[in-house]
Amino acid sequence: QVQLVESGGGLVQAGGSLRLSCAASGSIFSINSMGWYRQAPGKQRELVAHIPSGLSTKYADSVKGRFTSSRDNAKNTVYLQMNSLRPEDTAVYYCNADLTALGGRRADYWGQGTQVTVSS
């Protein structure tokens, strides 16, 4: 069984910062990529950052220059450093992992989501 657990969400004033983390645990053999998505009320879930193995992270235009993702392969953990936050960043943020479990099955996993609220 594989689980993704996000943490670090909360309330912050505009211009502030938050750091999200996502830890993958369970019977994992390898991780092909991880990523961050967000979904605001009434809107579709959108890609925030894509973190492929061996390649540079790709960011949505709306967060480019403000958000930075990183990956700790040894811990199967990714982070999202969010700076210069704006009210429009308010959303539920989700962690995603494309991974191969022990036994050879490759699948897509999602975390439970963590709420980020930016006040003006």
| Span 32-91, pLDDT tens digits | 999 999 999 999 999 999 999 888 999 999 999 999 999 888 888 999 999 999 999 999
**pLDDT given at position 51:** 92
**pLDDT given at position 8:** 97
Largest interatomic CA distance in the chain: 49
Cα separation of 45 and 3, whole Å? 20
Residue 6: its H or E element: strand 2-7
**pLDDT given at position 46:** 97
Q: Which of 1, 2, 6 is nearest to 111 (CA)?
A: 6
Cα separation of 13 and 21, whole Å? 20
Higher-scoring residue by pLDDT: 113, 74: 113
